[in-house]
Amino acid sequence: MPDTQREQIIKMLREKSVMKQDVYKNAQNTFEALKEVVKTIADDLKTEAQKIDKRITVEYRFTSDHEIELKVAGDMLVFYMHSNVFEFEKSHPMFKTGYVKQNELNSYCGIIYVYNFLADSFKYNRLQDLGYLISRVFVNRESRFFIEAKPPLGYKYSNFSDTAISNQALKEIVYDLIFYAISFDLYTPPSETVREISLNEIIERVQSDKLKTGKRLGFKSQTDGNVGDELTW
């Protein structure tokens, strides 16, 4: 192997590989802090919910080192941290910012995904039910972060933060996500999809409740034929 290639590989290991280790560690630390923040919020909301109506449940659940769940009434938020580090395509708006122009290594990020499901999907093991990605939290080598999400959350954190992510920032993010999930209502399916059913299907449905359900089921408007408000950004 030519010496120049060898030196280039060593340089990449020293700079790029070490940077990716730093990014992953920061994302991991952020997720650990997020677990504590979510648990604290869950405990607080649980107390308040019980004062309102004992039928309203708020629960925190640790499922793995990379996943936690937060149930708030009829909604389930699933927080999942990916184990890899990602780079953005050069066409991404992030490359137009001074922060990334100053050092492109700042654009490498770990990702925490946040999905919104119906709580009943988990309760009744409805494996065909739909969940929606409502947010992606990106954390870089300096623990600075930004979020991709629908407005207003997406506007609020659309660029890398000026400082490292903090417990206070995580707390605000979680409250914003809970508010969004509770405001994001279940739509009825089009009548065409549920008009006919066999005896066998109704028996199976009663036994396992297999009707595919999600907060947006592609309801078509009679006027414009557009599919309903699925989450995109």
Q: What is the pLDDT along the chain (233 residues), one digit of tens a residue?
A: 557 998 999 999 999 999 999 999 999 999 999 999 999 999 999 999 999 999 999 999 999 999 999 999 999 999 999 999 999 889 988 899 999 999 999 999 999 999 999 999 899 888 888 888 999 999 999 999 999 998 877 888 989 999 999 999 999 999 999 999 998 776 666 666 656 666 666 566 656 555 555 555 333 333 344 333 444 45
Instruction: Flag whether 199 is in a domain.
Output: yes
- 123 and 59 fall within a common domain: yes
86: which strand partners? 109
The DSSP H or E segment spanning 79 is strand 75-86
Within this chain, do residues 158 and 213 fall inside the same structural domain, yes or no?
Answer: no
One domain for residues 96 and 41: yes
pLDDT of residue 217: 37
Based on the fold, state whether residues 140 and 171 are members of the same structural domain. Answer: yes
- In a domain, residue 28? The reply is yes
233 in a structural domain: no
Structural domains of the chain, count: 2
Judgement on whether residues 195 and 98 belong to the same structural domain of the protein: no
In a domain, 23, yes or no: yes
Measured between its terminal Cα atoms, the distance across the chain in Å is 46
- Dihedral angle sign, alpha carbons of residues 149, 151, 153, 155: positive
Domain boundary among 163, 183, 203: 183
Same domain for 203 and 141: no
Our measurement of the distance from residue 70's CA atom to the centroid of its chain's CA atoms, rounded to an integer in Å, reads 12
- How many Å is the Cα radius of gyration of the chain? 22
Can you state the percent helix, strand and coil of the chain, rounding each to 5?
45, 20, 35
Do residues 19 and 99 share a domain?
Answer: yes
Distance, CA of 34 to CA of 194 (rounded, Å): 40
Q: Which residue, 178, 186, 180, is CA-closest to 130?
A: 186
Q: Do 121 and 218 reside in the same domain of the chain?
A: no
* Res 22: pLDDT: 96
Q: Which helix (H) or strand (E) holds 24?
A: helix 18-52
Exposed, middle or buried: residue 196 (CB in 10 Å: 0-12, 13-18, 19+)? exposed
pLDDT at site 188: 63
Say yes or no: 105 and 215 in one domain.
no
Alpha-carbon gap, residue 222 to 167, rounded angstroms: 46
Last residue within a domain, chosen from 146, 163, 183: 183
- If asked whether residues 88 and 192 sit together in one domain, one would say no
In the prediction, which pLDDT does 76 show?
95
* Domain shared by 108 and 196, yes or no: no
23 and 72 in a single domain? The answer is yes
Q: Which domain holds residue 215?
A: 187-228
Residue 49 identity:
A
Closest listed residue to residue 173, CA positions, set 209, 148, 201, 196:
148
Residue 140, in any domain of the structure: yes
